[in-house]
């Protein structure tokens, strides 16, 4: 068995019966949808037409949401249905970021991920999905692709069908016949300030504010080679796009960079790459690093919609997920760094070299793993850029070096103060180059990635990005020259938080549906 949907847009009348049936059958709460009908009006009166797109999970053969799910809550059944287990979900929202189709949401009642599950409870007893049953024009079909005699196989054999975003490599199994480019492409049509009808999300939802990722961007021009974003193409019905990750993610990028950077430099000193590491230097330098590590863990737990299930990451990890790997990596790094610091506190220096050998790679990985996690979030094309890993490594070197320089200056340890300042200068200089070129000038392969970069550097998030570049990467170099490492550290933290906000938020505001 290999279940798939076929939607015939030529006969769809936009009645929303499928949306209503889905809500009723699956008890979907108000404000979120597992299936909905996007509507776009093209042309001007009297030469105008309305196009529809039944939007839902694509039940991909290569589902990125399954790979990124840290607990296996999102999983693919042998029959091709991509299913979710709400009782295993921790609400990390990583699957929302991985989906290139905006087909997953956070259930506001259970605070877990939810989406179309092909009405698996009906399929398993020989019934069709609710949306198929109620469609008055038989525009929605469901069947077995492996059976050449099934209706979906016969319809696909007779008609040209397309899938959304085939370039993503997800192998979607939601096929459209007669699909219009202007409705199939997420940013091809203008989102006006007022719509024919629209659902507004309740204020204060953890899933994020209502946004239009096309605001502040050019209103005309080529869109993925298929159409132009012009006023003659207007979205008249759609569900609102939400941003899943907010300030805790940029904040944790900063705190783990401080923790990883400090312990990486302390380990280098202990291994002979820098001034000699004394027990006092390790104790004084390691204390703020451990505090930063604890804050990092706190931020990650706080950002979960089900923080009470945080321990699932250790009891049932799905090892392909960088979210699961990160939990184990951060925990191992913090534990070993803490043991090392405690040993130095007790005057035990016999294991200093051994601790340094183990802590150094864990500190570096803790600083850069977010780049691999972002790359696994395939729904945000901008995050697939190869410059993120070196940027995060240089961020750890900059913040860790500045922190060491500041505490060394306060504690009267000129050796580690000078070493930290020297490392910070190099990291800040090359970090400014990597961030400036990677974010603003590096060519991007997809239109969505280009829009993410434009949203960050020239759009609504430009003030944050430029503040981050100037205050977080350039200004600390100048302040260090004035002999004020503490001030330089504060400037770097504030500025790089602004940069991280732009990096995390801007790509999320580009709609995928």
CATH topology for the 248-508 domain: Formate dehydrogenase/DMSO reductase fold (1.20.1630)
Classify residue 48 as exposed, middle or buried by CB count within 10 Å of its CB (0-12, 13-18, 19+).
Answer: exposed
Which stretch of DSSP H or E encloses residue 341? helix 322-345
Q: Has residue 218 got a pLDDT over 50? A: no
Helix axes 279-303, 322-345, angle to 10 degrees: 150
Percent of the chain with pLDDT over 70: 92
- DSSP E strands in 220-275: the ranges are 222-223, 227-228, 233-239, 241-242
Give start and end residues of each alpha helix (H) in 346-387. 352-376
Which of 296-310, 443-457, 460-474, 486-500 is least confident? 443-457
197 compared with 342, residue with greater pLDDT:
342
Which stretch of DSSP H or E encloses residue 74? strand 74-76
Model confidence at 183, pLDDT cuts 50, 70, 90, reads confident
233-255 mean pLDDT = 89
Three-state secondary structure call for residue 54: strand
Mean of the per-residue pLDDT values for the chain?
Answer: 90
Model confidence at 283, pLDDT cuts 50, 70, 90, reads very high
69 touches 82 (CB < 8 A): no
Q: Has residue 372 got a pLDDT over 70? A: yes
31 compared with 8, residue with greater pLDDT:
8
CA-based R_g, the chain, Å: 25
Give the whole-angstrom CA distance, residue 44 versus residue 19. 28
What pLDDT does residue 234 have? 78
CA distances from 477 to 275, 423, 424, 501 (A): 21, 11, 8, 22
Q: Has residue 227 got a pLDDT over 70? A: no
- Asked whether the bond before 46 is cis by omega within 30 degrees of 0, the reply is yes
What pLDDT does residue 194 have? 59
Q: Where are the domains of the chain?
A: 3-242, 248-508
What pLDDT does residue 424 have? 98
Class in CATH terms, 3-242: alpha beta
What pLDDT does residue 46 have? 78
Which stretch of DSSP H or E encloses residue 431? helix 414-435
Beta bridge partners of 44: 47
What pLDDT does residue 49 have? 84
Q: Has residue 94 got a pLDDT over 80? A: yes
Helix/strand/coil (H, E, C) string of 443-467?
CCCCHHHHHHHHHHHCCCCHHHHHH
Q: Has residue 108 got a pLDDT over 50? A: yes
Q: Has residue 230 got a pLDDT over 60? A: no
Model confidence at 242, pLDDT cuts 50, 70, 90, reads confident
Which of 19-28, 218-227, 255-264 is least confident? 218-227
Instruction: Say yes or no: do domains 3-242 and 248-508 share a fold.
Output: no
Give start and end residues of each alpha helix (H) in 27-184. 64-68, 94-98, 120-123, 130-134, 151-158, 181-184
Classify residue 445 as exposed, middle or buried by CB count within 10 Å of its CB (0-12, 13-18, 19+).
Answer: exposed
169 touches 62 (CB < 8 A): yes
CA distances from 19 to 9, 48, 162, 249 (A): 15, 25, 22, 33
Give the whole-angstrom CA distance, residue 362 versus residue 359. 5
């Amino acid at each position: 068995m290999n279940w798939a949907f076929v939607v015939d847009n030529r006969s769809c009348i936009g009645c929303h019966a499928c949306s209503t049936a889905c809500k009723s059958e699956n008890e979907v709460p108000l404000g979120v949808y597992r299936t909905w009908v996007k509507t776009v009006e093209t042309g001007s009166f009297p030469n105008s037409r309305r196009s529809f797109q039944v939007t839902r999970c694509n039940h991909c053969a290569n589902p990125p949401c399954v790979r990124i799910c840290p607990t296996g809550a999102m999983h693919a059944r042998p029959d091709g249905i991509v299913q979710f287990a709400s009782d295993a979900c921790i609400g990390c929202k990583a699957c929302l970021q991985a989906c290139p189709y905006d087909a997953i949401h956070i259930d506001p009642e259970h605070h877990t991920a939810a989406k179309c599950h092909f009405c698996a409870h009906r399929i398993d007893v020989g019934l069709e999905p609710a949306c198929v049953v109620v469609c008055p024009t038989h525009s929605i079909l469901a069947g077995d692709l492996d059976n050449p005699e099934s209706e979906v196989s016969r319809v696909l054999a007779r008609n040209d069908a397309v899938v959304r975003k085939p370039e993503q490599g997800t192998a979607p199994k939601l096929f459209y016949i007669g699909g219009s480019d202007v409705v199939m492409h997420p940013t091809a049509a203008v989102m006006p300030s007022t719509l024919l009808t629209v659902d507004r999300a309740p204020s204060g939802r953890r899933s994020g504010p209502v946004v239009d990722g096309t605001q502040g961007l050019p209103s005309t021009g080529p869109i993925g080679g298929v159409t132009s974003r012009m006023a003659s193409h207007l979205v008249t019905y759609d569900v609102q796009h939400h941003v899943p990750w907010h300030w805790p993610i940029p904040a944790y990028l900063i705190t783990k960079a401080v923790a990883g950077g400090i312990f990486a430099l302390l380990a280098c000193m202990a291994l002979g790459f820098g001034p000699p590491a004394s027990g006092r230097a390790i104790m004084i330098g390691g204390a703020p690093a451990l505090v930063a590590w604890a804050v990092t863990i706190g931020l990650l737990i706080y950002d979960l919609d089900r923080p009470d299930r945080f321990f699932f990451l250790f009891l049932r990890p799905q090892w392909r997920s960088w979210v699961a790997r990160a939990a184990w990596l951060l925990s191992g790094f913090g534990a070993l760094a803490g043991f090392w610091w405690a040993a130095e506190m007790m005057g035990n220096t016999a294991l200093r070299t051994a601790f340094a050998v183990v802590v150094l790679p864990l500190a570096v990985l803790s600083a850069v793993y977010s780049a691999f996690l972002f790359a696994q979030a395939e729904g945000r094309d901008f995050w697939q850029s190869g410059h993120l890993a070196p940027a995060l490594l240089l961020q750890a070197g900059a913040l860790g070096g500045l922190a060491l320089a500041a505490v060394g200056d306060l504690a009267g340890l000129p050796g580690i103060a000078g070493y930290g300042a020297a490392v910070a200068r190099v990291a800040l200089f090359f970090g400014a180059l990597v961030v400036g070129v990677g974010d603003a000038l590096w060519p991007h392969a997809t239109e969505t990635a280009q829009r993410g970069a434009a949203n960050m550097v020239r759009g609504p998030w430009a003030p944050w990005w430029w503040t981050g570049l100037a205050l977080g990467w350039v200004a600390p170099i100048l302040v260090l020259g004035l002999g004020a490492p503490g001030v330089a550290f504060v400037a770097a933290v504030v500025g790089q938080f602004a940069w991280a906000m732009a990096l995390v938020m801007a790509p999320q505001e580009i709609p995928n549906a």
